[in-house]
Amino acid sequence: MWDSAEGFFGSYYIYWISVYLFIGYGASLLTLYLSGIFLARRSIKRTKQRSIFLRAEDVVSATDIPSVTVVAPAYNEGLTIIENVKSLLSIQYPYYELILVNDGSKDDSLQRLIDEFDLKRQDATFITQPIPTASVKHIYKSRKKKYTHLTVIDKNNGGKADAINAGVNFANTELVIFTDVDCIIEQDAILKMVRPYLEEDDKEIIGCGGGIGIANDSVIKNGILTELKLPSRLVPMNQVVEYIRAFLLGRMAWSEVNGLMLISGAFGMYPRKRVIEVGGFNPKTVGEDLELCIRLRKHMEEQKIPYKVVYLPETLCWTEAPSDYNILIRQRDRWARGLWETISLHRDLLFNRKYGKMGMLYYPYWLLFEFGAPIVEFLGVICLIAFGIFGWINWPFAILLSFAAYLVGCVFSTIAIFMYIKSFDHYTKPKQIIELLLAAYLEPFYYHPLLLYGQMLGYYKKIFDITSGWGTMTRKGFKVSKS
């Protein structure tokens, strides 16, 4: 079997070059992940130590803390919009505004909002719009005293990025938080998020993100997460593990070296001034969160202003993850297209000394390991099949190597779960931890292939210029307890 590798001219070289390329790629990724663990561990420890001296309750009564606007775009969310807005309005922060942007919904979202919050149309003649957006029809404010911090912008449809930009235009606070209208935000989340802005000395904070958790099947009461449960279905359960790994290991590690290029669109805080300076979110890409963060970083590098992008390890925002395969694939397809578009838009960063570490390290990492990973994986599958057909594969060796790679993946997931349960008390029951571990160990067999399929589908659409927008993200909704 092995001898047949000599079957045609150059086959020996093709085989070994491929093998060494894949092994080299895997080894580089392994080294990066290992470094990530050490950096994340250091970052979490340091954040925990610092938090003792930066208690939110020390400044909660202060009148000097910055004002914050939460901008939440909504499109056809009529069924759940009232509950969701009430949840966002319940966040505890003394100087807080909520701007809900109705992005041309075709359902009765706006009427429901008008009825529930007793909204009154405002005069918007002289309001400036520094970022161009689809036209704004009307602005509404609540007549009810307890909802004076609510503003609703009714505009023509322009997509998520366009809707957020409209919110930024109308905000008049120092800081803006972008979130999805159906996210459940922890009550003290804003107090924790403004902390880095208040305590930074020599570098300007241009972005701050917080951990995002999955709350499928959990119980929500009065807009607050009262009982966190693990999702009952496997797809969202795997996303719990995936989020723990991504946020606790990945983002915290990058935050430690000021290499964060992405703050999740589900929950991120930025200085309004800087967002306007760069022209807001780019409505032409579906990966608008990644694109904005990179553009902001580029802007600061060009201005030669020292800056930082930070991440907080605590879970401050809970979201509902796709609960079935089809929605998951659509989500990953969109993320892949967003990544493609952003990587392509900012290709001038590649090995560009002008942008310092961002050009020399962070962007190449994203290109090689975030953008490149699905391609390498896909090519790996093709090579496996082709080499198998040619009979070039030493199967016992290949199986052992695959098993080793599988075990390495299990170790990383186990470390992430261990660090999470050690740092936070969200999942403390042995049954929950065992379920998380099992989900992590089963991931490569059914969940990961789906992700790969979704990502490759996104790339395929980009290669063949197949138009596809955000797609419909059907959600089941949280369990709302009325009692």
Partner 1 sequence: MNEATVLFFIIIIFSILVIYWVSITVSIIYRRRRTASLTQIELTFADIVSRYLYNDPKNPLTLPEITQTLRDVGIKEQNKNNIQYLIRLMIRTQRTILGSNFYKLQKLYAQIPPHGVSIKKISSWSWYRKARGIREIYEMNQSQYFDEIFKYRNDKNIYVRREAQIALVVFLGWESLRFLPYLKRNMTLWQQIKIVEKLYDHYPKPELKWLHRAYKTEKLFGKKLLMRIIRKYELHAETDFIINNLNHPDYEVRETAIYCIQTFAVSTPTMDYIKRLYDEIPNATQQGQLLNYIYENSDIDLDFYLKQLYGTNDDLKLSVAEILWNNGYKEKVQEFYYQQYPNAVLNVG
Which residues lie near partner 1 (CB under 8 A)?
49-50, 52-54, 58-59, 61-65, 125-126, 128, 130, 195, 197-202, 273, 396-397, 400-401, 403-404, 407-408, 410-411, 414-415, 417-418, 421-422, 425, 428, 430, 433, 437
Closest approach, Cβ 83 to partner 1, in A, equals 33
Compute the distance between CA of residue 13 and CA of residue 293 in angstroms, rounded to an integer: 42
Closest approach, Cβ 419 to partner 1, in A, equals 10
Virtual torsion, Cα 291, 297, 302, 305, nearest 10 deg? 160
Q: Which is nearer to partner 1, 382 or 411 (CB)?
A: 411
Contact indicator for 90, 187 with CB cutoff of 8 Å: yes
Residue 177's beta-bridge partner residues?
A: 70, 269
Q: Which is nearer to partner 1, 399 or 480 (CB)?
A: 399
Closest approach, Cβ 243 to partner 1, in A, equals 19
Closest approach, Cβ 23 to partner 1, in A, equals 8
Report the candidate in 340, 342, 364 with the shortest Cα–Cα distance to residue 351: 364
Q: Which is nearer to partner 1, 292 or 415 (CB)?
A: 415
Closest approach, Cβ 458 to partner 1, in A, equals 32
Q: Which is nearer to partner 1, 32 or 404 (CB)?
A: 404
Task: Output the CA–CA distances (angstroms, integers) from residue 107 to 74, 112, 481, in the order listed.
Answer: 11, 10, 25
Which residue carries 């020292």 as its tokens?
306
Q: Which is nearer to partner 1, 194 or 456 (CB)?
A: 194
Q: Which is nearer to partner 1, 94 or 372 (CB)?
A: 94
Closest approach, Cβ 137 to partner 1, in A, equals 16
Q: How would you classify residue 36: left for phi > 0, otherwise alpha for psi between -120 and 50, otherwise beta?
A: alpha
Report the candidate in 143, 150, 142, 148 with the shortest Cα–Cα distance to residue 98: 150
Q: Which is nearer to partner 1, 10 or 430 (CB)?
A: 430
Question: For residue 178, how many other CB atoms are within 10 A of its CB?
Answer: 27
Contact indicator for 458, 335 with CB cutoff of 8 Å: yes
Q: Which two tokens stand for residue 142?
A: 């609540």
Closest approach, Cβ 235 to partner 1, in A, equals 24
Closest approach, Cβ 242 to partner 1, in A, equals 18
Q: Which is nearer to partner 1, 361 or 400 (CB)?
A: 400
Q: Which is nearer to partner 1, 330 or 426 (CB)?
A: 426
Q: Which is nearer to partner 1, 241 or 327 (CB)?
A: 241
Closest approach, Cβ 429 to partner 1, in A, equals 9
Q: Which is nearer to partner 1, 124 or 360 (CB)?
A: 124
Closest approach, Cβ 59 to partner 1, in A, equals 5
| Residue 264, phi then psi, degrees to nearest 5 | -60, 140
Report the candidate in 286, 237, 265, 243 with the shortest Cα–Cα distance to residue 181: 265
Three-point CA angle 394, 397, 403, nearest 5°: 135
Report the candidate in 342, 313, 302, 326 with the shortest Cα–Cα distance to residue 426: 313
| Buried/exposed code over 474-483 (b: 16+ C-beta within 10 A; e: otherwise) | ebeebeeeee
Closest approach, Cβ 411 to partner 1, in A, equals 5
Closest approach, Cβ 452 to partner 1, in A, equals 23
Question: For residue 101, how many other CB atoms are within 10 A of its CB?
Answer: 29
CA-only gyration radius of the chain, Å: 24
Q: Which is nearer to partner 1, 117 or 412 (CB)?
A: 412
